[in-house]
Amino acid sequence: MADPEIKSYEPVHENLSAAVTESRSARTVLMTIAFVFLGIFLLLPLVIVFKEAFAKGVGAYFASLNDHDTLSAIHLTLLVAVIAVPLNVVFGIAAAWAIAKFEFKGKAFLTTLIDLPFSVSPVISGLVYVLLFGAQAVLGPWLKSHGIEILFAVPGIVLATVFVTFPFVARELIPLMQEQGNGDEEAALSLGANGWQVFRYVTLPNIKWGLLYGVLLCNARAMGEFGAVSVVSGHIRGMTNTMPLHVEILYNEYNAVGAFAVASLLAGLALVTLILKTILEMRYGAELAATRGH
Amino acid sequence: MTTTPAQAGWRFKQPSVIPGFGLTLGFSLVYLTLIILIPLAGLVWRSASLGWVDFWRIVTADRTLKALEISFGTALIAALINVVFGTIVAWVLVRYKFPGRRVVDAMVDLPFALPTAVAGIALTTLYAPNGWLGSLLMPLGIKVAYTPLGIIVALVFVSLPFVVRTVEPIIEEIDKEVEEAAATLGASRFQTITRVLFPGLAPAIITGFALAFARGVGEYGSVIFIAGNLPKVTEIAPLLIVIRLEEFNYPAATAIAAVMLAISFAMLLVINLLQTWSRKRYG
């Protein structure tokens, strides 16, 4: 088959490469469709958030942010993320270690269960905790007699957030650690390292960028979750209102500048998340899991 | 399958020198059980204890059926819209070179990063009768905000990345030689795409569709602002659950949630089977 004569047809081969793309007009049409679609559905919503936030000037923007209820919503959102994200990081690392480093029965089933929260409506994610801890619920009366508040309080908001952000870190780490295999760890063990040392000095450096990637996505969802948190929070102003819930309250009060000012902070967070995520993909693409997105 | 002596006994785990299996698996299982499984089991148990008669009465109530229909119907349409445009976007992002490609590619993940409530108020403002897009559509007689169309718009937004992100890597993997072969054999570009390339992309497109659909069915935050929330017209099932909860009608909330969960899982199962089938057929 490797006939030397074929080489003389090289120019023809290049013509064929041109046949592997669409005609100029088809390309223009496809690109126009893609850009118009993304422009309408992605760019315009983002632009309108900042436009509405600054509709009455910079002064009004900062004045609406410097409000007691808004500040307490920001505080609560940060608090919830600071508790929920590390919990899911510990779980993500433990689950990835067990699933990626060992072969055992029921592994595929366990992986499916970890993904479960993604296919549950956020509202149902909140509802399950209301059924568990609410006044009419199994644990409700017992909790009440012991003065423990879970529902309509911070613990409930944290639980609902943990539920919806549950898979993020594990999903990023499992394929990554499976790809990397056990070779490095086995080498370290044979050189006399103990289990903790193997994790700290061998595995963690290998997975650090993937871990950061998972944390980034987990945090974005934790700070932005609306449905699940809305069900368990009770919407007590200045007490159990997170930023997304506060956006809703302000919006329903026809306080557009206030609502969009808080929304602009969340949109800023989303943009920062996207920028960091892109940097990670560009710089350390090889050290992230092969599967992109989620 | 020959059974060697080593495999004869029932073995839970294959031997490995790596430490920490018991600790990490044990912790994972306890955490999973406490956070996910017990609460979900609680929901199933509560709806089971309703009894068939009550359960059936709640689920077949007119308002419930309409809400389920609206949720699943709009999610289906939104997922189909994303199949068409998401595949085009993925194709353009992988195959064409243009300035700012990296930025556009990063932007596709915006719906994952932007909180749904923010998306909800932004889309409502855009599509309201006096909004940028709403005022353009108004003379054409198209009302988006506070109609079922608004729900579809919100769901297209939140589920936009799924199709793009599942199809993109598969387009990247396409071997150019396959296309060259098709071209040499005299296929037109259109034939190459529809007959040669598309079958290879089908499993990824179906996966993207399934993910987009599942996400759309459960979506709440972005929809409630733009929908108008009129019972039987623009009231989605998750909202009806919230309304029942606020009325302290726990049985109704539980029953609707159980039905939603069951339908979602059944559809995911069907789509999984469809995917296995298409992988075998076109794989």
The 3-state secondary structure of B62-125, one letter per residue: HHHHHHHHHHHHHHHHHHHHHHHHHHHHHHHHHHCCCCCHHHHHHHCCHHHHCCHHHHHHHHHH
Q: Is residue A66 helix, strand or coil?
A: coil
Regarding whether A62 and A9 lie in a shared domain, the answer is no
- Residue B190 pLDDT level (bands cut at 50, 70, 90): confident
Evaluate if residue B9 carries a pLDDT over 80. no
Are residues A24 and A124 part of one domain?
Answer: no
User: A24 has which bridge partners?
Assistant: none
Nearest to A20 among B42, B179, B241 (CB): B179
Out of A74-83, A168-177, A262-271, B185-194, pick the least confident.
B185-194
Distance between B66 CA and the closest CA of chain A, angstroms: 18
Concatenated DSSP letters of B141-175: T---TTSHHHHHHHHHHHHHHHHHHHHHHHHHH--
**Residue A19 and residue A79 in one domain:** no
Q: What is the mean pLDDT of chain B?
A: 91
Phi, psi of B175 (to 5 degrees): -80, 120
Q: Does the pLDDT of residue A24 top 90, yes or no? A: no
User: Is B265 touching A (CB cutoff 8 A)?
Assistant: yes
For residues B92 and A21, the model is more confident at B92
Are both A111 and A41 inside the same structural domain?
no
Q: Is the pLDDT of residue B166 over 90?
A: yes
Confidence band (pLDDT; 50, 70, 90) for B227? very high
Q: Which of A53, A74, A92 is the last residue of a domain?
A: A53
How far is A66 from A283, CA to CA, in rounded Å?
38
Together in a domain, A36 and A154? no
Any idea what DSSP says for residue A6? G
Nearest residue to A65 (alpha-carbon basis) of A275, A222, A260: A260
Residues contacting B103, CB < 8 A, separation 6+ = none
Tokens of B89: 């976007």
Number of C-alpha atoms within 13 angstroms, CB side, residue A186?
8
- As a whole number, mean pLDDT of residues A1-20 equals 49
The CATH H-level superfamily of B51-282 is MetI-like (1.10.3720.10)
B94 close contact with A: CB closer than 8 A: no
How many C-beta neighbours within 10 Å does residue A19 have? 16
Reduced to 3 states (helix: H, G, I; strand: E, B; else coil), residue B13 is strand
Q: For all residues of chain A together, what is the average pLDDT? A: 89
With an 8 Å Cβ cutoff, is A167 touching chain B?
no
CA–CA dist A152, A145 (Å, integer): 16
| pLDDT score of A290 | 53
Domains in chain A: how many in total? 2
Q: pLDDT class for B3, splitting at 50, 70, 90? A: very low
Give the domain CATH number at A153.
1.10.3720.10
Indicate if A46 and A69 belong to the same structural domain. no
pLDDT at A293: 43
Rounded (5°) CA angle A106-A203-B169: 70
| Co-location of A3 and A124 in the same domain | no
pLDDT given for residue A139 in this prediction? 80
B34 touching A (Cβ < 8 Å):
no
A129 and A182 housed in the same domain: yes
How large is the ipTM?
0.91
Res B193: pLDDT? 86
* Position B150 confidence tier, pLDDT thresholds 50, 70, 90: very high
pLDDT at B280 over 90: no
Structural domain boundaries enclosing A109:
57-287
Q: Which residue is associated with the tokens 């199994």? A: A138
Q: How do residues B67-88 score in pLDDT, each as one tens digit?
A: 999 999 999 999 999 999 999 9
Give CA A206 to chain center in angstroms. 21
A182-191 pLDDT, tens per residue?
999 999 999 9
Mean pLDDT score, B104-119: 96
